[in-house]
Amino acid sequence: MDLLKWFVSSLEVIPRVKYLSLGPLVDEFRALLTEQLDMNTEALNLKKLREDFQGHKHVFFPEPFYSTSDILIEQFIDGIPIRTFMTRDTKEKHTEAETDQRLKLSKIGMDAVFSMVFMNNFVHADLHPGNLLVTTAPGEDRPQIAILDAGMAVQLEPTNHVKLLGILMAFVKVSTLKPPLS
């Protein structure tokens, strides 16, 4: 981080670069990275997300067993990376069962994000395919998604959460009133 800070301060000697305010950006990046690397923060985030999704049939988070600022011991999740179910080639043929599985996983993922944003106001802020594992419920055939790496999470102040919900609902209302763009 010190090297990055030095590099940015060296660049800010250039007049036009100075207006980009890269110094404060590096400071913010340092603060976010420091917080994400604190394993106690991740353990607390996992506990909160586990509470929020308690009883959810399709989404779960690993249980943290022990943490310090440098160490986190958590439940091992045996699953398949969700990337396995994704494809970039839309011309690739899928069996009906594969397509059904992909649709189920998409719905589970959307439900999880909507629950975090709309219901819980506590959002896992590092959702990418590397943090999602597909498993099956013990003794059942229904898919589940395990969400890993909860080092970054966002919670809005209640008034800002209400404002965000209002904005999102306005988008929904407008998009149902107007025909889609061509």
- The catalytic position among 100, 126, 141, 149 is 126
- By the 8 A CB rule, do 168 and 82 touch? no
- By the 8 A CB rule, do 125 and 152 touch? yes
| CA separation for the pair 158, 13 (Å, rounded) | 41
Measured from the Cβ of residue 75, the count of other Cβ atoms closer than 10 Å reads 13
Beta strand pairing status for 59-60 and 143-147?
parallel
| CA separation for the pair 37, 21 (Å, rounded) | 25
Measured between alpha carbons, how far is residue 67 from residues 45, 54, 107, 125, 175 in Å? 12, 21, 33, 20, 45
| CA separation for the pair 9, 111 (Å, rounded) | 44
User: Is 126 in the active site?
Assistant: yes
Residues noted as catalytic: 126
